[in-house]
Each structure stands twice: as structure tokens, then as C-alpha cells.
Amino acid sequence: MKYIFIFLISFFFSLNLQAKEYKYIERIKDCYTDIFWKIKTEKYWTVLEARRVQETYTTTNDSHLNSLEWHLVNTTEKTDVTAKRKKNLITISGVFKSKPIERNIKIDKDPWYQPMSFSLSKLIKSRKKAVTFWTLNPTNLKPYKMKALNYGKETINMNGKEIKAYKIKVILTGFRSMFWHAFYWYRADDNTLIQYKGVDGPPTSPTTAINLAEESL
């Protein structure tokens, strides 16, 4: 019994060691917002908790970083919704902006990335040049078919340091691809998201920049 107890303690301690925390800083013009990620990886799935101001996103992903379940809470907007994927159907339930919601969204066999900024590191690991996927817009819960393009490695400057990173461009699919795009950079050593640049809104919206500020294991 003593050895079983020691094994269990070691097992759960090893799981806790796999929890990683990151702090990002988002900048839109002269407005700065802190974003916090907590990632826990287990044998068959990875759980990401992302927090910013009044919002919390909790996503359960499989071992390939495909999203299985997403929980969104926004206390200011009185939102508490859960989205789950089963085969080619995403089911949304809960309260969205003070109103009850029950919605079924039909998609195809392509993966669901929620948020895409986390799951896109899969593209680097797979060595593919491009991937198409689905994502939900948190502001209206509408589904969008997206495409990510792997631009390969480049060196970027962050806080005075030269860092090798993989660059990924994300666009909408079809004719809408000309209206929006964004860039993500992932550290080459471990595929961690370190930078984002894009326009989160209509083309006339200001550029949003997100940079990794702190990290801990």
C-alpha cells in the first residue's frame, strides 16, 4: 500500500508539473490589456484556460489540439455558454448576452480550433503548408471557415532579443479572404505563441498586437 500511495502522489505531482502559465499583453493604439493563459496537458487531452478582463475561456482539446468543448463566461455581458462538438455538429447552450441560447451548427470534417491562436501550433508540428478549420466568433457565436498558411521560419525582434519563430498567416476562405487576415508567430524551440498582429474587426479598425510578456512552468 505504501508503494501505491507513493506512486499516486508522484503521478499527480507529475501532472501538476505539466501546467504552464503565460501572460500576454494586447495593444490597440494606446490601450493595453493583460491576457493570461493556463495550459494543462494530460495523456489524452489539453485544457486551456484564457482570461482577460471580464472574460474567461476554457477549452478542452484532444491530443492533436482539435477542440472538443469550449466554455465562455463574460460577467459584464451576462454570458455563460458551452459549445461541444460531436462528429460534424457543434451544439451551443447556455445564456448569451442575457438571453437563453440553444443552437446546433453543422460543420464538415475539418477540425475546430477554439481559440485558433492555441491550436494553430498543430500546423507547425504536422509540417503541412496549409490547413482549413472552423472557429466560433465569441462576439456573436457564428462559425467561420478559416485557412492557415505556414510561412516557415523567420527571425523576429522581441524586447531587444532575436528570436527564431514560425510565421502563420490566417485568412477567411473563399472570396472573403481578401477582406481579413492576421499573422501569428510561434517560438521555434517549443511552438509557443509569442506574437500576433491583425485587425479584429472591419478593415478600418486599428491593428491589434499581442506579445508574450511572461511565462512559467
pTM: 0.88
Question: Hey, is 126 helix, strand or coil?
Answer: helix
Report d(CA 45, CA 18) in Å as an integer: 12
Cell reading at 137: 466568433
Which residue, chain included where needed, has cell 443552437? 103
Cis preceding-peptide flag for 115 (omega within 30 of 0): yes
Report d(CA 165, CA 192) in Å as an integer: 9
Tell me the CA distances in angstroms from 177 to 79, 115, 130, 169, 174, one per residue in order: 30, 19, 14, 11, 6
CB 121 within 8 A of CB 133: no
pLDDT tens across 82-135, in order? Answer: 999 999 999 999 999 999 999 999 999 999 999 999 999 989 888 789 999 999
What is the per-residue pLDDT for 9?
34
More confident of the two residues 6 and 188: 188
CB 133 within 8 A of CB 119: yes
Instruction: Return all residues near 25 (Cβ < 8 A) that are at least 6 apart.
Output: 32, 33, 34, 35, 210, 211, 213
pLDDT tens across 31-59, in order? Answer: 999 999 999 998 899 999 999 999 999 99
| Element spanning 8, H or E | helix 2-17
Question: 42-46, 67-71, 91-95, 145-149: which range is least confident on average?
Answer: 42-46
Q: Is the pLDDT of residue 145 over 90?
A: yes
Tell me the CA distances in angstroms from 136 to 76, 112, 169, one per residue in order: 20, 9, 18
Report d(CA 38, CA 58) in Å as an integer: 9
